[in-house]
Amino acid sequence: MNQILKTTAFLLIKTREVSIIEGLLLTEQEGSHKLARFVDDQKMHRLFEKFVLEYYRRHYPQFNASASHIDWNVDKGVIEFLPVMKTDITLTYEGKTLIIDTKYYQHTMQTNSYYNSKSFHSNNLYQIFTYVKNKDYTNSGNVSGVLLYAKTDEDIVPDNEFSISGNRIAVKTLDMNTDFSHIKRQLSDLVEGVLLE
């Protein structure tokens, strides 16, 4: 069994999901492994999200990993029609918060055909920014956010960090097509640089 299948089997066991293991590697080219037709992106996204959450619960219990709700920081007005904000993963430690929004797409970048350019998915960036700014309603700067994409074989691999309105926002990828020790290192680096500084 090759490494991607081993990693996928581990993910399925860890998150107690029932699925078919073969063909879970995202690719845009012909090859021996392709995203199985019967495993849609929503199921894979949920599996990816659960794996990352369970990883932090198990390996960093002090971060209190959870999927949490964020209240809208509304000054006045009727809020009943505002959408619910529920994070994929929220980690807290010693007054700092890191919100991780996982994404599992075939294309980690969006294409603007008019300008012939690529950019981050705007809706995803708006979403993580909204989560961070509403969670950090005191403007402390102690709330950070990460968009975490499952790595594909695209040419552009997001690995960027910004400071936007006083908060750290990052767009990162997680390479799942590697041995588990490297996956662990990527996930550890992602949070230790924010919560343990």
The domain ranges of the chain are: 41-195
Q: Which helix (H) or strand (E) holds 53?
A: helix 41-59
Helix-helix angle 180-195:41-59, to 10 degrees = 70
Question: Rounded to a whole number, what is the distance in angstroms from the first to the last CA of the chain?
Answer: 39
pLDDT at 37 over 50: no
The mean pLDDT of 65-79, rounded to a whole number, is 92
Half-sphere exposure of 17 (CA within 13 A, CB side): 21
The bridge status of strand 109-112 relative to strand 89-93 is unpaired
Residue 18 has pLDDT above 50, yes or no: no
Over residues 38-53, mean pLDDT: 79
Residue with tokens 């097509």: 177
Residue 35: per-residue pLDDT = 45
Kind of pairing between the strands at 143-150 and 167-174: parallel
d(CA 13, CA 3) in angstroms, rounded, equals 15
- CA dihedral sign, ordered 64, 133, 149, 69: positive
The answer on pLDDT for 174 being more than 80 is: yes
- The arithmetic mean of pLDDT across residues 182-193, rounded, is 93
Distances (CA, A) of 121 to 14, 48, 53, 103, 124: 29, 18, 22, 10, 5
pLDDT in tens, 136-172: 999 999 999 999 998 877 777 778 899 999 999 999 9
Residue 73's pLDDT band (cuts 50, 70, 90): very high
* Fold classified for 41-195: Trna Endonuclease; Chain: A, domain 1 (3.40.1350)
Q: Is 191:60 a contact under the CB 8 Å cutoff? A: yes
DSSP reduced 3-state for 145 = strand
Whether pLDDT at 131 is above 90 = yes
Report, as an integer, the average pLDDT of 89-114: 86
pLDDT at 47: 87
Q: Which residue has the higher pLDDT, 19 or 24?
A: 24
What phi and psi, each to the nearest 5 degrees, are found at residue 125? -65, -40
Q: What is the pLDDT of residue 126?
A: 93
